[in-house]
Amino acid sequence: MKRFWLLFSQTVTVLLAVIFVVSTLKPQWLIFVPRSAGHLTLLEAPASATQQRPAGSLSEASRIASPSVVSINTSKNAKRHHKGDPWFRFFNGDPNEQDLSGLGSGVIVSPQGYILTNHHVVEEADGIEVVLHDGRKAIAKVIGIDPDTDLALLKIELDKLPAIVLGNPEKLLVGDVVLAIGNPFGVGQTVTSGIVSALGRNHLGINTFENFIQTDAAINPGNSGGALVDVNGHLMGINSAIYSRSGGSMGIGFAIPVSTAKTVMDSLLKDGKVTRGWLGIEPTELSPESAQAFGIVLNGPSGQPPQGVMIAGVLQNGPAAKAGLKPGDVITQVSEHPVRNVSELLSRVAALQPGTASTLVILRDNKLVELTVNPGTRPLSSASKPR
β-pair partners for 151: 146
Q: Are residues 115 and 131 in the same domain?
A: yes
* Boundary of a domain, candidates 127, 155, 183: 155
Provide the residue-wise pLDDT of the chain in tens; the chain has 387 residues.
Answer: 667 767 777 777 877 777 776 666 666 555 544 554 455 555 555 555 556 667 678 889 999 999 999 999 988 775 555 455 554 454 445 555 445 577 899 999 999 999 999 999 998 888 999 999 999 999 999 999 999 889 999 999 999 999 999 998 888 999 999 999 998 887 888 899 899 998 888 777 777 777 889 998 888 888 889 999 999 999 999 998 877 666 666 678 899 999 889 988 998 998 888 888 889 989 888 887 777 777 777 665 566 677 888 888 899 889 998 988 888 889 988 988 888 888 888 888 888 888 889 998 988 888 888 989 999 888 866 555 443
- Whether 209 is covered by a domain: the verdict is yes
Q: Cα-flanking dihedrals φ and ψ of residue 3, to 5°? A: -65, -35
- Whether 180 is covered by a domain: the verdict is yes
47-52 long-range contacts (CB < 8 A, ≥24 apart) are none
- Whether 367 is covered by a domain: the verdict is yes
Query: How many domains does the structure of the chain reveal?
Result: 3
- Whether 174 is covered by a domain: the verdict is yes
- Whether 178 is covered by a domain: the verdict is yes
pTM, two decimals, is: 0.69
Q: Are residues 211 and 240 in the same domain?
A: yes
* Boundary of a domain, candidates 271, 296, 320: 271
The answer to whether the beta carbons of residues 72 and 226 sit under 8 Å apart is no
- Whether 19 is covered by a domain: the verdict is no
- Whether 234 is covered by a domain: the verdict is yes
CATH code, 321 = 2.30.42.10
Q: Are residues 261 and 178 in the same domain?
A: yes
Q: Are residues 194 and 286 in the same domain?
A: no
- List 150, 216, 230, 329, catalytic entry: 150
Burial tier of 28 (Cβ tally within 10 Å: 0-12, 13-18, 19+): exposed
* Boundary of a domain, candidates 271, 302, 319: 271
Q: Are residues 75 and 130 in the same domain?
A: yes
- List 120, 216, 234, 343, catalytic entry: 120
- List 224, 240, 347, 358, catalytic entry: 224
If you count them, how many residues does the chain have?
387
Catalytic residue check, 150: yes
- Whether 11 is covered by a domain: the verdict is no
Catalytic residue check, 365: no
DSSP codes, 31-100: ------TT--------TTSPPPPPTT--HHHHHHHGGGEEEEEEEE-HHHHTTT-HHHHHHH-S--TT-E
Domain carrying residue 131? 61-155
Q: Are residues 191 and 245 in the same domain?
A: yes
Q: Are residues 119 and 143 in the same domain?
A: yes
Catalytic residue check, 81: no
